Structure 1
């Protein structure tokens, strides 16, 4: 499984940040597909969490990605 790790910070408190992990299930998903589809998934996440802003992101093997 591939995961998308997104570093987000609160808009009104930019020093308050956290990593959010979004998983892509299925064996056919690879890192390049994560990179392409990741923007769509991040847009959905931001739509549900409008007080946060994305600072950085990357794709990797689920459970193996280090903090950003």
Structure 2
């Protein structure tokens, strides 16, 4: 599973992109993704203070969408 992020630069809010957080292969259940998302998002945000997370969602590895 992945956590898909829609993120924008704090200094230039019009500059946005997508990123993903890869979860372990054991975390193939959407409920597990939702349960672990908050801590994983907090860790990602701490490592990327220049970006703001606008939205996120869980997605299975085999069904990655083109966009959020």
Are 1:26 and 2:25 an aligned pair? yes
More helix by share: 2
Structure 1 consecutive aligned stretches of length 4 or more whose deviation exceeds 2 Å: 26-29
More strand by share: 1
SS at match of 1:13: coil
Aligned to 2:56: 57
TM-score where L is the length of structure 1 = 0.87
Which structure 2 segments of 5+ residues have no match?
none
Root-mean-square deviation (Å) = 1.3
Which structure 1 segments of 5+ residues have no match?
none
Task: Give the aligned length.
Answer: 67
Aligned to 1:38: 37
SS at match of 2:13: coil
